[in-house]
Amino acid sequence: MALKRRIQRKVEFNSSSMSDLVFLLLIFFMLTSTLVAPNAIKLLLPSSKSRTMAKQTVTVYINEKMNYYVGERPVNEINLKSEIVAALGGVSDGTVVVRSDKSVPVQYIVNVIDAVNDINNESNLNHKVLLATTAK
């Protein structure tokens, strides 16, 4: 006695909902990637072969007009030390990354290093200073 099924099973995959998810993810990543601005101040960094990476606590920018920026706030040389202390916010072993235009004289970079060294000596802390570069 041969029994036949009344309902035939269809073996197919409906991919219309999958394509909707892909387009939603694509839109999400396109929107979030445009919101990320790692270098808000445009600089031509010096080039180097070293690949030292560190978790940066504070970023100090020096543009081609020899203006200092802590984060994205403009700062004059007199208030540089106090602004770095405020940006560090009580971190005992932070890293200050100096992003300097390659046309800036070395003295301006040394001013940032001296400010961080003064902070370390006065507060008995261990902050580091790194100079940001581009790959050669």
Span 47-135 CATH architecture: 2-Layer Sandwich (3.30)
pLDDT recorded at residue 31: 83
pLDDT recorded at residue 39: 55
Q: Which residues, 6+ apart, have CB-to-CB distance to 19 below 8 Å?
A: none
Q: What is the signed CA dihedral for 32, 73, 86, 81, rounded to 10 degrees?
A: 140
pLDDT recorded at residue 37: 58
pLDDT recorded at residue 84: 92
Report whether pLDDT(129) > 80. Answer: yes
Residue at token pair 């802590």 = 70
Which residue has better confidence, 54 or 103?
103
Percentage of the chain with pLDDT > 70? 81
Q: Which of 27, 123, 45, 134 is nearest to 84 (CA)?
A: 123
Kindly state the DSSP code that residue 41 receives in the 8-state scheme.
S
Say if pTM beats, i.e. exceeds, 0.85: no
At residue 111 the predicted structure's pLDDT band, cuts being 50, 70 and 90, is very high
Domain spans of the chain, in order of start: 47-135
Report whether pLDDT(114) > 90. Answer: yes
pLDDT recorded at residue 49: 73
Let me know: does 84 contact 58? Beta carbons within 8 Å: yes
